[in-house]
Amino acid sequence: MEEKKQHGGKRDNSGRLKKDDVISLIETMDAIAVPETVWKMLYSKVLDSDVNAIKTWLQYRYGMPKQVIDQNSNVNINNFDLKEVIKFNQ
């Protein structure tokens, strides 16, 4: 029997980092650059009208904007032919 590829389940390096890893990463980043310095540099980019810097600044200051999803669908079962949608081999 041939082996099937496994696409689901637990895989190495997948998922969220462990809390200890996150804390270690933050400590390493703080050792490289003081957070206040980074915020000042980001703010200088905001003053230079850098769009990505402005988005980052606003997301940290005010949070992500509310995403609205239209859940109204106007599909009527009599409006389409399923064979046309699927396009069977002809």
Q: What integer pLDDT is reported at residue 1 of this predicted model?
A: 55
Q: Give the tens place of pLDDT for each residue, 50-78.
A: 999 999 988 888 888 788 887 777 766 66
The domains of the chain are located at 33-65
3-state secondary structure the chain: CCCCCCCCCCCCCCCCCCHHHHHHHHHHHHHHCCHHHHHHHHHHHHHCCCHHHHHHHHHHHHCCCCCCCCCCCCCCCCCCCHHHHHCCCC
Task: Please tell me whether the overall predicted TM-score, pTM, comes out greater than 0.75 for this model.
Answer: no
Phi-psi region of 17 (alpha: psi -120 to 50; beta: other; left: phi over 0): beta
Q: What integer pLDDT is reported at residue 15 of this predicted model?
A: 80
